[in-house]
Amino acid sequence: MKDLNELSKNEHKISELKKDANGNDIRVVDGKEIKQIKEKTQADIDLNRRINLWRMRS
């Protein structure tokens, strides 16, 4: 299985944070819209990044 450093090479496949029609925070991750946790702190931003990278593993 790939580690986080290896997965970081795919970070360009993660879009900027945006809102969906219902007002939820989402990002497009590898072509799929993924709901994000609320980003109130840097720790929240880092967690979303790690989760999104983990979703792209193969």
The number of domains in the chain is 1
pLDDT for residue 25: 96
pLDDT for residue 58: 62
> And the tokens for 50?
């790690």
Tens digit of each residue's pLDDT (9 = 90 or more) over 4-54: 777 788 889 999 999 999 999 999 998 999 999 999 999 999 999 999 998
pTM, to two decimals = 0.79
DSSP state of 13: G
- Note down the domain range covering 45: 4-55
Alpha carbons 8 and 52: distance in angstroms, whole number: 10
